[in-house]
Chains A and B, each alone.
Chain A
Amino acid sequence: MQTEIAVIRFGLGARPGDLSAAAADPRGWLRAQIHGQVKLAGDSRLAPSDQIIRGLFEARAARASMKRAVPAAAEPPKDALNAVREAYLPHYRAQVLARARSAALTDRPFAERLVHFWTNHFAVSADKGAVLGLGGSLENEAIRPHVNGRFVDLLCAVEQHPAMIAFLDNQYSVGPDSPFAQFAARRGRRQFGINENLAREILELHTLGVDGGYTQADVTTFAKVISGWSIGGGKGRLAGGVPGRFFFREEMHEPGGQRFLGRRFPQSGLAQGEAVLADLARQPATAQFIATKLVRHFIADEPPAAAVARVAQAFTRSDGDLPAVYGALLDAPEAWDAQSRKFKTPEDFVFSTLRAFDVAPQDPQEVVRGFELLGQRQYTPGSPAGWADTASGWDGSDALMHRVLWASRVAERFDPGVNPLEVATASLGGYLRADTREALRRAASSGQALALLLMSPEFQRR
């Protein structure tokens, strides 16, 4: 089952021919994928995030002026309220389609799954105003270039991406003793101060983990360290930077050295926050936390301790060199245990279905709706903790009924010209059980057989 494990558990499911391509050397097939950037497959052209943000700025300005134009008591026209949504929605749809096409078409499905893993680790949720069109931007601009690099570079790219800055409210976080705060105070304007959100989640969710040994004081200090990490644009005194791109607002940054996690950070400006991120990337707690999440994602909901220790050790020894970390994961004997199988998330289910049928979707609305139906609307996990990575987050009876509904629709769609037994063999290989094969053979129609295949226990697990 080594081949099936490589292609289905570590990859995104088998296209026709994938299993035979990987059969000679399943581990080598995986190892060959973990180097360099991982670009989107499928020729999708997406707008860069700064352009999307500028469009959003313009839509908001238009909305504000329309609101001013109508009497206060009257309801603002619906069109004005929809303008912001209209500004981001095409980008959102294009990003979701591009993601699905890439998953369906890529020849490096292990690397692609790692991209998805990090997107979920560094989750933003595109249902929050400021991030509406940026879910895919974070994945494509910050994660794809660094997925096979060093963890610290990945971490810095993510925390300095406008999507993360905006999602966790750091753009207006102001050091209480910063020039900007003091200026405002002298003018008798409202008090400005820090916002802890990004600092806390970097510690809790991106690096050390919740039990990583930091205190509330560390959170507050770290928030001061990254005060001024913002987005370019703005008016008047706030003008500065390239609109829509990461911009360090020195004026909002808390001046002076800081003591964080018991260590001194004497740097000033942007370098201070980058030094803290570099320090966090080297902490044993970070190695342990990342290793646990990787093992949970690739091996089992209850991560085997030996595998976690092996991966954490590789993380520490290589100073966060990610290909070395992934290599240790592949070296773990637990990774190749055919008994331990993960229940697919809706995302896994959709991507592996596309690959089983060897089709790349064309219609963005159809893809968006499919994920909504299955309860995993792309790029909207709803919280910075990301989507659940264990079966318990996905195994409700209602969720299963939605999978059946989606499977039967997909089966209907691809029914003509497809031989269910061939699809079953090419996509499941040795995982295909005799009783499932028998059920497919006896199905009332080939459409019904395809739906049964997609809903079979062996297709629903990886």
Chain B
Amino acid sequence: MTGHPHPLTRRRFLLGTGALAASAAVPGLLLASTGNSSRLVVVILRGALDGLAAMPPHGDPHYAALHRDIAIAGPGAPDGALVLDGTFGLHPSLGFLHERYVAGNLIAFHAVASPYRDRSHFDGQNVLENGLSQPLGSADGWLNRALSELPARPGASTERAVALSQNVPQILRGRAAVFSKSPNPTPDIDQELLARLADLYSKDDWFAARLSEGMQTEKLADEGGMTPARAGAAPGMAGAPADRLTAVARMASALMNSDGGPDVAVMEANGWDTHANQGGAKGVLAQRLLGLDRALRALTDGLKDLWPQTAVLVVTEFGRTAAMNGTRGTDHGTGGCAFLLGGAVLGGRVVADWPGLSPGALLENRDLRPTLDLRSVFKGVLGEHLRIDTATLSGRVFPDSAGAHALQGLMRA
């Protein structure tokens, strides 16, 4: 433990981290050599996580009255929030995240949003992943565009990134080669059949590329001594979603730890669209958050020696209404929270330019007003952690993000 979290004021991050920025502002592509390069994991929470439940602003005088039955009590109360500072806490299910905060490895962001301002999940996720200011602006994703800017790492396979699912989500789609790997095993595929298929696909590049990636991944998994049988025994309904995410996290860390394994991984979790009976300290959302917390612990444990050089971004497409709706849930909103954790993160801080929840402060009289563009976080992480220079970030990775400046000082030097 590196000390108790600092009692930060709301605006402190903007000033407080400025002094740290110099060390991170090294331009150029300096991705370190074999064995010591940065690792990045992005966790996408699909369905719009209620940021006012995950990171309750217990210090805001309007919070309890708005969130009503599903508000999280303040720190100290039974089932109350885990304290971050005088304004914010964490949902009581997020014990591991809180540990990381205390240890100085977690930054909790609030009042953040992508540039998307309508309330469709699907367009919202599209913007979150395409990195532009509007949906359908691009078929590829920002993380893939970022990968395209990285120099080759000696000893690494050509595919630098893995999607922990059968298929590749938009954030990772694009020019740079990536692969997918779900925790469901594909045991006992006859090698001779694969060889003949590769032959049959030789005249069809589209199939050939996918088969070759699939075969390489199998090899990686075998050599890594992965025994996904336990994790994969419960595809679909058989496993609770919470356990499934943990299985996914174990697979991610095992792949990243294997020789020539990927530097970047993307995990996805569904089930955050809590329109009815969301629950408070206990209930449906509490269970989901517990599953997320456990999965992040499993990821951290599994990364072992890689943890000090890892950053994990946890994001969702938008927040939910400030007020509880008529069915003890929340409807689609705008501003929400995000987390950045990892050994490489200069954490133990809340980053929030908090607009407050007073009637006049809400967006369209209903949502938490966002004061920080998520792309500022993404640019900060890609800049300092993956060492992609500012011009490239603004020009090629997030081409219409001029107003969203990279946050500085997110990473340890």
**Known: A200-B119, A377-B237, A399-B166. Contact between A192 and B180, CB under 8 A?**
no
B270 and A394 contact, CB distance less than 8 A: no
B196 and A448 contact, CB distance less than 8 A: yes
Within A202-248, the residues touching B (CB, 8 Å) are 204, 210, 216, 219
User: 25 interchain pairs (CB within 8 A)?
Assistant: A172-B276, A193-B327, A197-B275, A197-B276, A197-B331, A200-B331, A210-B118, A210-B122, A375-B166, A377-B236, A382-B270, A385-B121, A392-B170, A396-B163, A397-B211, A398-B214, A401-B186, A402-B166, A402-B186, A405-B187, A405-B188, A408-B190, A436-B200, A448-B190, A448-B193
A375 and B167 contact, CB distance less than 8 A: yes
Question: Which residue of chain A is the closest to B120 with respect to CB atoms?
Answer: A210
Question: Which residue of chain B is the closest to A409 with respect to CB atoms?
Answer: B188
A452 and B270 contact, CB distance less than 8 A: no
Among candidates A193, A372, A404, residue contacting B236 with C-beta atoms closer than 8 Å: A372
A400 and B193 contact, CB distance less than 8 A: no
B166 contact set on A, CB distance < 8 A: 375, 396, 398-399, 402
Q: For the complex, what is the distance from the CA of A377 to the CA of B120, rounded to whole Å?
A: 24
B193 and A408 contact, CB distance less than 8 A: yes
B163 and A195 contact, CB distance less than 8 A: no
A435 contact set on B, CB distance < 8 A: 200, 203
Q: Is B326 engaged at the interface, CB distance under 8 Å to the other chain?
A: yes
Distance in Å: Cβ of B189 to nearest Cβ of chain A: 5
A405 and B189 contact, CB distance less than 8 A: yes
Question: Which residue of chain B is the closest to A391 with respect to CB atoms?
Answer: B206
A452 and B276 contact, CB distance less than 8 A: no
Within B146-204, the residues touching A (CB, 8 Å) are 163, 165-168, 170, 173, 179-182, 184, 186-190, 192-194, 196-197, 199-201, 203-204
B192 contact set on A, CB distance < 8 A: 444, 448
B167 and A399 contact, CB distance less than 8 A: yes
**Known: A195-B329, A385-B121. Contact between A439 and B196, CB under 8 A?**
yes
Residues of B whose CB lies within 8 Å of any CB of A are 46-47, 68-69, 118-123, 135, 139, 163, 165-168, 170, 173, 179-182, 184, 186-190, 192-194, 196-197, 199-201, 203-204, 206-207, 210-211, 213-215, 217-218, 235-237, 270, 273, 275-276, 325-327, 329, 331-332, 364, 366
Question: Which residue of chain B is the closest to A219 with respect to CB atoms?
Answer: B119
Closest 10 CB pairs of A and B: A193-B326, A396-B180, A396-B167, A397-B213, A399-B166, A397-B214, A372-B236, A398-B180, A169-B276, A401-B214
Distance in Å: Cβ of A17 to nearest Cβ of chain B: 27
A195 and B211 contact, CB distance less than 8 A: no
Q: Is A267 engaged at the interface, CB distance under 8 Å to the other chain?
A: no
Q: Is A393 engaged at the interface, CB distance under 8 Å to the other chain?
A: yes
Q: For the complex, what is the distance from the CA of A451 to the CA of B190, rounded to whole Å?
A: 11
Q: For the complex, what is the distance from the CA of A399 to the CA of B210, rounded to whole Å?
A: 9
Q: For the complex, what is the distance from the CA of A392 to the CA of B180, rounded to whole Å?
A: 12
Q: Is A196 engaged at the interface, CB distance under 8 Å to the other chain?
A: yes
| Contact count band on A | 35 or more
A460 contact set on B, CB distance < 8 A: 207
Question: Which residue of chain A is the closest to B187 with respect to CB atoms?
Answer: A405
Q: Is A190 engaged at the interface, CB distance under 8 Å to the other chain?
A: yes
Among candidates B68, B235, B329, residue contacting A169 with C-beta atoms closer than 8 Å: B329
A195 and B327 contact, CB distance less than 8 A: yes
Q: Is A415 engaged at the interface, CB distance under 8 Å to the other chain?
A: no
Question: Which residue of chain A is the closest to B126 with respect to CB atoms?
Answer: A210
A405 and B123 contact, CB distance less than 8 A: no
Q: For the complex, what is the distance from the CA of A375 to the CA of B235, rounded to whole Å?
A: 9
Among candidates B68, B188, B275, B366, residue contacting A195 with C-beta atoms closer than 8 Å: B275
Within A400-434, the residues touching B (CB, 8 Å) are 400-402, 404-405, 408
Given contacts A388-B167, A448-B196, 14 further A-B contacts (CB under 8 A): A127-B237, A169-B327, A195-B326, A195-B331, A197-B273, A197-B275, A372-B236, A392-B139, A392-B173, A396-B179, A399-B180, A400-B210, A404-B197, A435-B203
Q: Is A173 engaged at the interface, CB distance under 8 Å to the other chain?
A: yes
**Known: A196-B325, A436-B200, A444-B192. Contact between A383 and B121, CB under 8 A?**
yes
Q: For the complex, what is the distance from the CA of A436 to the CA of B207, rounded to whole Å?
A: 14
Within A262-308, the residues touching B (CB, 8 Å) are none
A439 contact set on B, CB distance < 8 A: 196, 199-200
Q: Is A2 engaged at the interface, CB distance under 8 Å to the other chain?
A: no
A396 and B165 contact, CB distance less than 8 A: yes
Distance in Å: Cβ of A364 to nearest Cβ of chain B: 13
A192 and B270 contact, CB distance less than 8 A: no
Q: For the complex, what is the distance from the CA of A395 to the CA of B214, rounded to whole Å?
A: 11
**Known: A195-B276, A383-B47. Contact between A443 and B326, CB under 8 A?**
no
**Known: A169-B327, A405-B189. Contact between A372 and B235, CB under 8 A?**
yes
A127 contact set on B, CB distance < 8 A: 237
Within A162-182, the residues touching B (CB, 8 Å) are 168-169, 172-174, 176
Q: Is A191 engaged at the interface, CB distance under 8 Å to the other chain?
A: yes
Q: For the complex, what is the distance from the CA of A191 to the CA of B29, rounded to whole Å?
A: 57
Distance in Å: Cβ of B49 to nearest Cβ of chain A: 15
B207 and A457 contact, CB distance less than 8 A: yes
A398 contact set on B, CB distance < 8 A: 165-167, 179-182, 186, 214, 217
Q: For the complex, what is the distance from the CA of A439 to the CA of B196, rounded to whole Å?
A: 8
B194 and A404 contact, CB distance less than 8 A: yes
Q: For the complex, what is the distance from the CA of A380 to the CA of B167, rounded to whole Å?
A: 16
Q: For the complex, what is the distance from the CA of A377 to the CA of B329, rounded to whole Å?
A: 27
Q: For the complex, what is the distance from the CA of A315 to the CA of B167, rounded to whole Å?
A: 34
A380 contact set on B, CB distance < 8 A: 236-237
Among candidates B206, B235, B276, B332, residue contacting A200 with C-beta atoms closer than 8 Å: B332
A452 contact set on B, CB distance < 8 A: 193, 196-197, 200
A373 contact set on B, CB distance < 8 A: 184, 235
Distance in Å: Cβ of A402 to nearest Cβ of chain B: 6
Question: Which residue of chain B is the closest to A181 with respect to CB atoms?
Answer: B326
Q: For the complex, what is the distance from the CA of A435 to the CA of B218, rounded to whole Å?
A: 27
B182 and A174 contact, CB distance less than 8 A: no
Q: Is A138 engaged at the interface, CB distance under 8 Å to the other chain?
A: no
Distance in Å: Cβ of B251 to nearest Cβ of chain A: 10
Q: Is A455 engaged at the interface, CB distance under 8 Å to the other chain?
A: yes
A451 and B207 contact, CB distance less than 8 A: no
B326 and A174 contact, CB distance less than 8 A: yes
Within A303-339, the residues touching B (CB, 8 Å) are none
Q: By CB atoms of chain A within 10 A, which of B68, B123, B325, B366 has the most?
A: B325
Distance in Å: Cβ of B152 to nearest Cβ of chain A: 20
Mask, A68-103, CB within 8 Å of B = 1, is: 000000000000000000000000000000000000
B329 contact set on A, CB distance < 8 A: 169, 195
B173 contact set on A, CB distance < 8 A: 392
Q: For the complex, what is the distance from the CA of A393 to the CA of B327, rounded to whole Å?
A: 33
Distance in Å: Cβ of B270 to nearest Cβ of chain A: 5
Q: For the complex, what is the distance from the CA of A168 to the CA of B186, rounded to whole Å?
A: 35
A393 contact set on B, CB distance < 8 A: 167
A176 and B326 contact, CB distance less than 8 A: yes
Question: Which residue of chain B is the closest to A197 with respect to CB atoms?
Answer: B275
Question: Which residue of chain A is the closest to B326 with respect to CB atoms?
Answer: A193
B122 and A385 contact, CB distance less than 8 A: yes
Question: Which residue of chain B is the closest to A388 with respect to CB atoms?
Answer: B167
Distance in Å: Cβ of B194 to nearest Cβ of chain A: 7
Q: For the complex, what is the distance from the CA of A451 to the CA of B194, rounded to whole Å?
A: 10
A405 and B180 contact, CB distance less than 8 A: no
Q: Is A456 engaged at the interface, CB distance under 8 Å to the other chain?
A: yes
Question: Which residue of chain B is the closest to A371 with respect to CB atoms?
Answer: B236
A443 contact set on B, CB distance < 8 A: 196
Among candidates A399, A400, A401, A456, residue contacting B200 with C-beta atoms closer than 8 Å: A456
Distance in Å: Cβ of A340 to nearest Cβ of chain B: 14
Q: For the complex, what is the distance from the CA of A165 to the CA of B275, rounded to whole Å?
A: 13
B204 and A196 contact, CB distance less than 8 A: no
A408 contact set on B, CB distance < 8 A: 189-190, 193
B196 contact set on A, CB distance < 8 A: 439, 443, 448, 452
